[in-house]
Amino acid sequence: MSNATFQPIAPDERIATLDVLRGLALLGILLMNMEAFVGPLDLSTGGIDPHWQGVDRWADAFVYIFVQGKFFTLFSLLFGAGFAVMAQRAEVAGRDFTRFYLRRSLGLLGIGLVHALLLWSGDILVAYALLSFLLLAFREAPRAWLPVMGVLAYLAAVGLMLLLGALMLLVPDEVTAAQATHAQAAIEAQRQAYGHGTYGQAVLQRLRDFGASLGALLVVGPQVLGMFLIGSWFARSGAIAHPDAHQRLFTWLRRGALPLGLALMLACAWYQPWLAPGRFDLRSAAAYGGTAVAGLLMCLGYLAWGVRWSHALRWLAPAGRMALSNYLAQSLVCTLLFYGYGLGWFEQMGRAWQLLFAVALFAAQVALSRAWLRHFRFGPMEWLWRAITYWRWPPLRRDAAGAPQR
């Protein structure tokens, strides 16, 4: 057993491209989440909402076709890549990785629960934390198996959607009508609690939404786990750290996967542009499945372009280094602006203005991240997460005594 110390990664040891890609994914997630901040959460994932008109409808279509389901998968892929990097560092240091990783996952679970219950119910951190425990089981898997297992896990979710859609053919019409009524009631409850309620009423609604989100893990879980495994391969193979050695792969992802995914996404948007809440049948399942496959292909294409343009996009890296802090800050700022216990701008901002607001907010986050990292080693939430992981307080200020954290 080596005496080397397994400690938080130092800034000069980071893979710069990963930070750039995290920053890119963070922008995409904010663009996707804006509709769920401004209005009821359950209305934000149904496709091109027919109530939007003019430029707002074009903005909604842009998000649905180019953003929704693509950057969430990219962020999941990067989480898996981070897992692989951490495991490799533990192996080099000759230290037991499992106990560090379990504390890391438990820490993320705690942060996610606080976020989901006290701040915003559209949280993804709880799902990441719960599924990260499963990722440990694949740590010793042969590297070549990872992308195959990842794609199979991802497609299992698509298969499950189609199976559920087929089973809905056996459900009586009165039951499907009741489901639609229940979905509309849930949307109205969100509208009242988040748009017009007190903070306490919003927390109670978040508790109800949290239960529904755990149920959605049945479908979302295999997708996220699949992206974790694919991301682990990208890190373990050296494809992200040394892309020049994988030029054929990245060329195919840019010129093959991305156009193919876009074509499939456009076909799905034409086939079923709007998936009404509570209405789920075989047609809807086919649309969901098609958009999921398109999201995987486009995500990989975005990854390849991000790697190629990483030098030009290096201004995104500070935001990526503070991805957890910035993700939580987006929820804090937007809920205070749009929810009833804040400024109360709920359902008051058009779709096109939402995108402009998201870009402005993200630009501010990039600038603040750059300023923060001039004086501090980590973002505030990254620092807390590392403290939980390594069970000690790492130096935060750049001028703190002692050598940089390794």
Per-residue pLDDT of the chain (406 residues; tens, 9 = 90+): 344 444 555 554 468 899 999 999 999 999 999 999 999 999 998 899 999 999 999 999 999 999 999 999 999 999 999 999 888 887 777 777 888 899 999 999 999 999 999 999 999 999 999 999 999 899 889 999 999 999 999 999 999 999 999 999 898 988 888 988 999 999 999 999 999 999 999 999 999 999 989 988 989 999 999 999 999 999 999 999 999 999 999 999 999 999 999 999 999 999 999 988 888 899 999 999 999 999 999 999 999 999 999 999 999 999 999 999 999 999 999 999 999 999 999 999 999 999 999 999 999 999 999 999 999 999 999 999 999 998 899 999 987 444 444 3
How much is the pLDDT for 402?
42
How much is the pLDDT for 14?
63
How much is the pLDDT for 89?
82
Whole-prediction pTM: 0.92
How much is the pLDDT for 304?
97
List, in sequence order, every residue forming a beta bridge with 397; answer none if it has no partner. 376
How much is the pLDDT for 6?
46
Domain limits, the chain: 11-390
How much is the pLDDT for 372?
97
How much is the pLDDT for 3?
40
How much is the pLDDT for 198?
97
How much is the pLDDT for 406?
37
- Measure the CA angle with vertex 317, ends 259 and 66; round to 5°: 25
